[in-house]
Structure 1
Amino acid sequence: MAEKVERTDGRGILAGDYLNQNRTLTRQDWLEDCFPEWGTLLNKEIEEIELEKGTVAIWWLGGPSWVLKTDEGGIFFIDVYSGPSHYTQYYYCGVCKQAGAETINWMRLNPQLIDPWKFHRLDGAFSTHKHQDHCDLYTVKAALQTTDCMFYGPPTTVEKLRSFEVPDDRITTTIVGESVKVPGAEVEFCMNYDETVIKTGEGSVPDRYENCATSFLFKTSAGNIMFLGDTWYHDGYKAVGDNYDIDVAIFDMGMNAPGATDKMSPYDCARLGETLKAKVLIPDHYDNWANTASDPDLLVSQFERIVSENTPQIKTVILKPGARFIYPNDQDIKRYRYPNQGDGYDAAKSITYGEYARKYGNSRKPEDGNV
């Protein structure tokens, strides 16, 4: 008689009779069992992976959210959002003011892929600007209580971090032209021309770009990765492209109803990449808000076509939520595919076509146990 195998449901929860079907459930059990949808799979992958010297890894968490890990083991959040759908109102919301809309519903489409409360190491949390999905209460509170990480953001973001009770000794205000050294990288604070965030806040007079948004250029042993948050295209990026060597540029893309620009169109994304003189372009944000969503395959196809037709020397990479991208190794993948788990298959153990099938055919005896 084969030894009984203790089963779990894949998240480390004991499964009872099978897949935990026989236990009493409460709403809290449901929330803890099912959210985040990927459990701590990515947390573990990020923390445990050991990178070759001269490489850097980034994970796209969907929407505007990224994690970066250097070959020295430094782990960094960039614009990580762990929150729900929400709505914004005219008195504060920059997009509402542009559109003249009293309120806008932001319905979240993408899954939550990490557990922000369960990182054992986090060296920094960077926010390009103060919008809720880039400077997030849930992520900040988790990182503040469970790690010793520093928090980085422009002046108006710092005000928000303080309102989240982040102490001043854990905050660095990002001033354009300055930089900070972190494990495995130097992070340059660069101009960011986000036209929406400068209109965000009470009042009707737009603020200064430098006060509201920062682009982060992570200069690593593998190359330089720039995160541009929710920027719009702006001619000022000509100076950024001239003054900095940018290997990978990551920026927002999406569709906009007439009357209010929020995300860049595929054309503006391609134009931005050319202006920055970047070698690889990776769009984000087009997947997560219903009001700026489109057919994602059509949107990225347009982006790829525009880049290939106008600047064929520039590469495009299209990721999927949860994707790991290692630079420079993966710069030619074009489109990410999820692993199909086939490398774990073992033909010899197949009850359909393996040694068991050849020995017993389709018969199965109770004494065979769990095969």
Structure 2
Amino acid sequence: MSKIERSDGRGILAGDYLNENRTMTRQDWLEDCFPEWGTLLNQEIEDLKVEKGSVALWWLGGPSWMLKTDEDAIFFIDVYSGPSHYTQYYYCGVCKQAGANTINWMRMNPQLIDPWKFNRLDAAFSTHHHQDHCDLYTVKAALQTTNCDFVAPPKTVEKLKRFDVPDERIKTAIIGESVKYPGVEVEFLMNYDDTVIRTGDGVSLDKYENCCVSFLFKTSGGNIMFLGDTWYNDAYKAIGENYKVDVAIFDMGMNAPGATDKMTPYDCARLGETLHAKVLIPDHYDNWANTCSDPELLCSQFERLVSENTPNIKTVILRPGAKFIYPADQDIKRYRYPNQSEGYNSEKSISYGEYARKYGKNK
């Protein structure tokens, strides 16, 4: 039986087809099974018509996001398409903090998009140069299959150039400046990631503005701020007082004693209050085994801390692959995957539909 090609991105057809004695190679397995969602999410993102006065977000798991404006501009933000990996002391900021020769970063979250199969992409944003935020696989795919720009702080720009991204497709994110695309202006604001300033050859600390940036996407639906792998810092008070932040998106996780990498739920709640944000969405707590702890416990702690201390601020907990429309979805609290019941038809049911009425359940 020849392989059945689907045009809707849902992968291969199950049932009898998977019981066929078809030829199978490792390459067949990889193409059938990865990405786990096929191109379903690719097509959903490209096909969605965002209503005027709204902005659409998709959480891809880990630090990875996509955003679409009401003028059809589509963006990668910190998209990671890579595998588990390990880091070494000579370069890794977390290793240097902990005095560890190496750290294993075991990936837990699924790969939900095919970065090679977007027909349209306006820009790929990276908050900093860590591999899971400036990813070889994602960059190479976007470079070869789209005409998108690559927007990143100076240290990450150096990495993009090593990935053979040409100068004319790079926009350096200098604090205080901005870029415009259809339906959005993206301002480059300070970021206080104390891990990334330790990342690189040597042991001296680099400057924040050289290594990391916060992106404030100012859209007709609201202002969405991506903070990458930031730590809490009192200096965020200046951003909260001088900029309007509707939705703040930031890292959360647990750290082994001796090396801070992710913000704790308490740090996240405090950051949201400092930024005067309306809605808080944590990320990154699900994808690395060494910092994920119990995601359900982390999210529950975060929700409780915010509700007890700043009840005027809303929290949203998403699931990998979730679509979030702002401002329409700001009160969902926790995302639930669609159960697809809108496609059910009671008349076709062999249990309670026309068949059951005509023939009886036991006939």
TM-score normalised according to structure 2 size: 0.96
Counterpart of 2:130?
131
Aligned pairs for 1:156-175 (under 5 A) are 156-175=155-174
Contact kept in structure 1, 2:174 and 2:209, CA below 8 Å: yes
For 2:97, give the aligned amino acid: Q
What SS class does the counterpart of residue 61 from structure 1 fall into? strand
What SS class does the counterpart of residue 17 from structure 2 fall into? coil
Counterpart of 2:233?
234
What SS class does the counterpart of residue 205 from structure 1 fall into? coil
Counterpart CA distance in 1 for 2:352 and 2:15 is 30
Aligned pairs for 1:291-330 (under 5 A) are 291-330=290-329
Counterpart of 1:115?
114
Counterpart CA distance in 1 for 2:5 and 2:14 is 5
Number of aligned positions between the proteins: 359
Counterpart of 2:217?
218
Cα-Cα RMSD: 1.5
Contact kept in structure 2, 1:15 and 1:21, CA below 8 Å: no
Counterparts in 2 of 1:292 and 1:309: CA distance versus 1, 3 Å: same
What SS class does the counterpart of residue 324 from structure 2 fall into? strand
Contact kept in structure 2, 1:7 and 1:19, CA below 8 Å: no
Counterpart CA distance in 2 for 1:346 and 1:14 is 21
Query: Which structure 2 segments of 5+ residues have no match?
Result: none
Confirm or deny that 1:33 pairs with 2:32. Answer: yes
The alpha-carbon deviation at position 21 of structure 1 amounts to 2.8
Counterpart of 2:281?
282
Counterpart CA distance in 2 for 1:12 and 1:164 is 30
The alpha-carbon deviation at position 295 of structure 1 amounts to 1.2
Aligned pairs for 1:36-115 (under 5 A) are 36-115=35-114
What SS class does the counterpart of residue 176 from structure 1 fall into? coil
Query: Between Structure 1 and Structure 2, whose CA radius of gyration is higher?
Result: 1
Contact kept in structure 2, 1:38 and 1:112, CA below 8 Å: yes
The alpha-carbon deviation at position 363 of structure 1 amounts to 6.5
Counterpart CA distance in 2 for 1:252 and 1:231 is 7
Counterparts in 2 of 1:14 and 1:316: CA distance versus 1, 3 Å: closer
Counterpart CA distance in 1 for 2:360 and 2:20 is 31
Confirm or deny that 1:349 pairs with 2:357. Answer: no
What SS class does the counterpart of residue 342 from structure 2 fall into? helix
Query: Which structure 1 segments of 5+ residues have no match?
Result: 1-5, 365-371
The alpha-carbon deviation at position 243 of structure 1 amounts to 1.1
Moved over 6 A (4+): 6-10
For 1:107, give the aligned amino acid: M
Counterpart CA distance in 1 for 2:267 and 2:292 is 16
Residue-by-residue CA offset, 1:220-261 (whole Å, 9 max, x unaligned): 000000000000000110111111100000000000000000
The alpha-carbon deviation at position 183 of structure 1 amounts to 1.3
Percent pairwise identity: 80
Residue-by-residue CA offset, 1:264-283 (whole Å, 9 max, x unaligned): 00000000000000000000
